[in-house]
Structure 1
Amino acid sequence: EKERIEKLVEEREIAVQHRERLARMYEDKEEFLNQLMKERNSAYEDKMTAFKELLESERKKRLLERQAKRKTDRREKHYRQKREEQERKEREEREERERKEREEREEKERQEREEREEREKKEREEREETERKRREALDRQAKMQQERLDEIERRNRESEKAAPAAAAAAAPSS
């Protein structure tokens, strides 16, 4: 039992020594931690300052880039609108020109068709007139031929009538 008590007393003394040593070390620890925190804070502040400077310069750079891009975009948009307006005008002029050409062509075709129809009508009328005159001439010739035949037939009949009468008149005298 004595050994156990001695051992406990000895452990207690060791613990007290450790506590005293740790108490002295506490101040050193606090000082070390404070110095470490100051260094870390200083490094953090330096990094934060550098970051803020970098951030500010990056913001300025990007602002300038955006301004330049907007300016370029506006210029391109202006040129594009100008080009589209020019193309639209050219297209409208071309369509108007094509429309006029088409109308002129259609008018010319219509006039040619009317002239052709008029010419064909005239030719048809001339053919009909020629045919009518030819028929009239043929009819006149046929009528004259018929009149001649009728005249010949009439003369033949008269001569036949006169011949028996002449034969009868000639027969008594003989």
Structure 2
Amino acid sequence: MNPRLSVLSCVVAVLGVGGCSALANTAGLPATVTATEQQARSKAEVLVDDTAAHIQPALSWQASTVGHNPNYTGVDGRYDGTMRVVVSREADVRLAKDRLPTLEAAITDYWRQQGFQLQIGHATDGNFAIDATKDQVHLVANSDAPWGITISADVGTVKGPKDINSVDGSPIPDPTGSNGTPISPAPSVDPYWSH
């Protein structure tokens, strides 16, 4: 995930709207496995694809990335041997601030139609973070005008490895140049969303 977008997610989490980590199991019991990894991944991909398709005019999306969020139990915070599958997709398009309400409405309308419960946070610069939950599914959309938008789906409880250190839960780093500095691609200009 683009670090610019993750900052807004964390700001919204502090405000009590979203989250920056895996869902906590406060009962202290291991989570019940609800799907195979492939089932969870397929469901997450469909949710992200359908959300992206609902945004019109269409944005130019990058390929999805797939990761895992480990589940933890109770107050001791121990890894419980299960994880959730996370699929994220980013559109690096220059977003005009006056288009943000239209973009937000496209996502919230679609997620409400699907029966998700929403919490929405707004930054002082007009960017938004949407957090949606339903039936063991967690969806997040973050705008970062003028840099783009990220949509992600966190789905299912699947059997994880015994060793927490082998869970792929870290964010995929941004590409770096030959000198090791991050390459931030310039957002593309869209005839509708950028003006």
More strand by share: 2
TM-score band, normalised by shorter chain: under 0.3
TM-score (norm 2): 0.13
Structure number with greater Rg is: 1
More helix by share: 1
| Larger relative contact order (Cα-Cα within 8 Å, sequence gap ≥ 6) | 2
